[in-house]
A and B are shown apart, each in its own frame.
Chain A
Amino acid sequence: MTGDLILDVSDLKVHFPVRMGSGLRPNTVPLKAVDGISFVLHAGETLGIVGESGCGKSTLGRAILSLVRPTSGHIAWLGEELTHMEKRALRDKRKDLQLVFQDPLASLNPRMTIGEIIAEPLRSFSPERTSADRGRMVRDMMSRVGLSPQMTNRYPHEFSGGQCQRISIARAMILAPRLVVLDEPVSALDVSIQAQIINLLKDLQADYGLSYIFISHDLSVVRHMCDRVLIMYLGQVVEQAPVHTLFERPAHPYTINLIQAVPIPDPVKERAKQGPVLMGDPPSPLDPPSGCRFHPRCLRAEATCKTRAPVLETVGTGHEAACFRWRESL
């Protein structure tokens, strides 16, 4: 299934300066949205990035596409460093790197027809094409994603959420990219529409040999969609594993909690569910806890967890976890 290495992210950090206090000299505190993340991605692979709201998933996705400038670290795309690339060269790379947003309607300009919206990447990357040529490509792509090609002259507000997401996907796919970052592409949709969009994405991946980075907080969707999963907590990776390993033998207590929290569609089983429940909210990323960032919510936390930060350790093949006591999970 997986091919060559296409993306290599190492020790990526994205910090946003946040002004605290007031007065003449407010001090600036860094908000560490992404704090030292490394991973690799192969051609044709789907990597899931999972975590609670505010853990930095979307920032990570945007940093990979150079939409936000990383504070430090490296992003190597096909062996070329993106972080310090010149604007013009970077623009060329954008042809291969595309993005689908969470909110389908907000990501489409309400004043453009969907024909114009889908054609926009073509206009910006291959202006030499005639408009008839572009029109044909747009109509082909529309029928490919399950939209009627007659609808090119309509505006986004005339479409349902699922259709808008199809438009977004068509726009991302029209340049035949190699990597698409899907930033919670189905979380705003009904469950039945979610399934349609997921299947569409899988079909497109099979046809074009795409790689996906699939950002989500919904583990059941991730399980269906991804080959490998990265679990994030407060800007850091706590566990990464192939999808089956992750669901069968999760090593990090946070992952165990997350999997535990997935609802079972059977009220009897759901009520009989046992095991730890994740308490409280994630702490503020402005003031992360000392040592292991998960320790205030962890049932297994001990004295060392409060003082020392665990690093990712190899648990099994392709399976890493950042916990001192991962052995107890297996």
Chain B
Amino acid sequence: MTQKEMASDEDIANGAHGLADAPERRRLHISPLNQRRLHNFKKNKRGVWSLWIFLILFFISLFAEFIANDKPLVVSFEGGFYFPVFAAYPETAFGGDFPTEADYRDPFVQELIEKEGGWVLWPPIHYSYQTINLDPPTPAPSPPSSENWLGTDDQSRDVLARLIYGFRISVLFGLTLTIFSTFVGVAAGAVQGYFGGWVDLLFQRFIEIWTSIPQLYLIIIIAAVIEPNFWILLFILLLFSWVALVGVVRAEFLRARNFEYVMAARAMGVGNTKIMVRHLLPNAMVATLTFIPFILNGSITTLTSLDFLGFGLPPGSPSLGELLKQGKDNLQAPWLGVTAFMTIAVMLSLLVFVGEAVRDAFDPRKN
């Protein structure tokens, strides 16, 4: 019997339906495993609701300038339309005296506009994060009122406006830090696990020493020397946050590097980088994805604590940690502390619920 004849009886059964379903495979490419994971995630109602609430809040906060701003969205003046949110107009444009940008909250400017039959369309909150309420009902911090829905802080700034901007910057900072630490952590873990031996030994000892440094103190010292902005702070925190993922990724690579298909790839002359990316990284992705929501949580918490201590974002920036600090300093104004606490608690809980749902969805023992 020739080889072809012998091969045929084994292949006929599979070959026949292989013809039928082969072309459509590529289009909707969700493997059954991922379908099951998606299904598991959707089954966790708490996780799905948390994800949606968080996404909606985050999406809204991305448009903070259109929700809380001391500049109107649209101004109609003498037949022309002005968009102060996007462009700066001098007061002289509306018939005022100063060549500086118009202060639309100034009753004088408002009068100028309305005198000519113009109108002003404001965002729902007439304050930006740094707008000072010059006419508070009580000395700052003043309690919630129809003007300041969540009251004002000790510098007479609107708490709700600062909250919206602060939430946005916290989440954006957390996301950026998470992305960077994931990249660095995965790369470091991959190199350690793949090469093993001395590379691994030395790298692990380095990480042990590195993580035993009291991070917060070091960050405080660095922040005291160089005035941190968003990116400098990100860099400083990245110095310590990248180690979070190294352990799991290293373990996955150590396990998988002796798989036969990895050895086969090496025998075929595939380069180390390609082997790591193409053959080994997919094995480590589950562990990595499971960790990401929790790293995001940790990043936000770290930023909040630094802001609370006064070593975080530059003074004046809207930040949840700074609001928390004001709450601590002004116990007679509970709306500050309660607002900050509730926001942080809700945000972190939502993220933890999402993280738990992701973790359970990837758990191979669940079905």
Contacts and interface: CB of A to CB of B under 8 A. Distances in A.
A257 interface: no
A124 B270 CA distance: 6
Interface string A111-154: 11000000011001100000000000000000001111011111
A107 interface: yes
A233 to B, nearest CB: 25
B10 A203 contact: no
Interface in B1-30: 1-4, 6-8, 10-11, 14-15, 18-19, 22, 25-26
Contacts of B19: 148, 150
B18 A99 contact: no
A131 to B, nearest CB: 14
B7 A146 contact: yes
A103 B260 contact: yes
A304 interface: no
Interface in A60-96: 62, 65, 67, 91-92, 94-95
Scoring B22, B260, B278 by chain A CB atoms within 10 A of each residue's CB, the highest score goes to B260
Contact of A95 (B8, B15, B269): B269
Nearest to B18: A151
B4 A101 contact: no
A159 B14 contact: yes
B15 A150 contact: yes
A299 interface: no
A109 B185 CA distance: 24
A148 B260 contact: no
Contact of B267 (A65, A145, A193): A65
Contacts of A103: 260
Interface of A: 62, 65, 67, 91-92, 94-95, 97-99, 101, 103, 106-109, 111-112, 120-121, 124-125, 145-148, 150-155, 158-160, 162-163, 166, 168, 171, 175, 193, 195-196, 199-200, 202-203
26 contacts: A92-B269, A97-B267, A98-B268, A101-B260, A101-B264, A107-B261, A107-B263, A109-B278, A109-B279, A121-B268, A124-B269, A124-B271, A146-B4, A147-B11, A150-B15, A151-B15, A151-B18, A153-B25, A154-B18, A154-B25, A163-B11, A196-B6, A199-B2, A199-B3, A202-B3, A203-B2
Given A98-B267, A124-B268, A203-B3, 17 more contacts: A92-B269, A99-B264, A106-B261, A109-B278, A111-B282, A124-B271, A148-B11, A148-B15, A151-B14, A151-B18, A151-B22, A160-B14, A193-B10, A195-B6, A196-B3, A196-B10, A199-B6
Interface of B: 1-4, 6-8, 10-11, 14-15, 18-19, 22, 25-26, 31, 259-261, 263-271, 274, 278-279, 282
